[in-house]
Amino acid sequence: MRSVPDCEVTVMMLLGSIHKPLLYLTLSIKCTTENIWCLGWKYFRSSCYYVSTETKSWNASRNECLKKGADLVIVSTDEEQEFLIELNKSIWIGLTDEEEEGVWKWVDGTTPTKRYWRSQHPDNAGGENCAAVQNTGSNLSKWNDLPCSHKLYGVCEKKKPVEEQH
């Protein structure tokens, strides 16, 4: 089950009698150490994901991620691709060929080991240098190349800090 990591918050309030009014409040917050580092983000398989609330260009989306200490998502597995599809939005991913046409690289400079391009894509129809997941069709092949100026939601990925990985 995929879920957002939240802390369990317990609030208890005890009111006294009319003759001796009391207000006793207990606030208890329990967070797992496994995912406390990504509160407010979606947790999935040792990474946290932030989905922007506004559509932006690829570059503006990436800048938003970098400000949050993350970067646009790098899709590594079928399960991660499914997770992104389940967001049910057209989203930017951290894949571009802006540096060299036809040579697609992740934002960390690596070459994709998994590819989920839609049929006949990438097609570079009119300067399409940035990759997106678009929810059309019924399989995992949802990537489309689009102009980087197009406005979509961005998905930031923050990897679990090394010192917390077991």
101 inside domain: yes
What CATH number does the domain containing 100 carry? 3.10.100.10
20 inside domain: no
* Structural domain count, the chain: 1
Query: Is pLDDT larger for residue 64 or for residue 10?
Result: 64
86 inside domain: yes
As a dihedral over the C-alpha atoms of residue 53, residue 56, residue 60, residue 65, rounded to 10 degrees, the angle is: 30
140 inside domain: yes
Strand, coil or helix: what is 146?
strand
What DSSP string describes 86-139? Answer: TT-S-EEEEEE-SSSTT--EETTSPPPSS--BPTT----TTS--EEEE---SSS
pLDDT per position as a tens digit, 18-39: 556 566 556 555 555 555 667 8
6 inside domain: no
13 inside domain: no
Q: What is the pLDDT of residue 14?
A: 55
**Look-up of token digits 């922007």:** 52
155 inside domain: yes
Most confident of 58-62, 121-125, 126-130: 58-62
Binning pLDDT at 50, 70 and 90, where does residue 161 land? confident
The answer to whether the pTM exceeds 0.85 is: no
Which domain range does residue 150 map to?
40-164
